[in-house]
Amino acid sequence: MFRRGDGDDRSGEREQPIQQGEVRMKEGTGSEATVVGQGARLEGTVVSAGSLRIDGQVKGKISAEGDVVLSAQSQVDADIAAQNVTVGGKFKGNIEAKGRTELAKGGRVDGNITSKSLVVAEGAIFCGQSIMDQQGMRGGNSARAPEADPAMVTVADRAPVR
């Protein structure tokens, strides 16, 4: 079992196991999360039976049964399929969320988003097409014609990149 401080002889403290509550998406949700750390670089397909938090770099495809959170430090070039998605870092690709997609302040999305609801915070950058489907993803088919959806909004904000 991995423990906090493994391989770190600088700590004079007795090693403590990582507590279950330390790896949760949001307080009170009760779901555990897989974390891709800040120094990690993954290429390929990432599949999570629960939620996923990305602090590092991922290139390829991401699929999660739970939520996907991209922190402010993250750099992701992939397609994401998940329950809910929050983008706080740099993201390039397409997002298909069954529920909500949120672009947090400082987050940037270059690509298309399909979800029930979309929240774009002040200071976020979104360059792409938003397909808001009141019934969620219908079979996960992103190739369907946009005119088949009840609401479609196209946003292109060309704010300077920080």
As a whole number, the mean pLDDT across the chain is: 76
Q: Rounded mean pLDDT of 132-157?
A: 49
44-93 pLDDT, tens digit each? 999 999 999 999 999 999 999 999 999 999 999 999 999 999 999 999 99
> How confident is the model at residue 31, as a pLDDT?
59
152 or 74: whose pLDDT is higher? Answer: 74
Strand segments (E) across the chain: 33-36, 41-48, 51-54, 57-64, 68-70, 75-82, 85-87, 90-92, 95-97, 100-103, 108-110, 113-115, 117-120, 125-132, 151-156
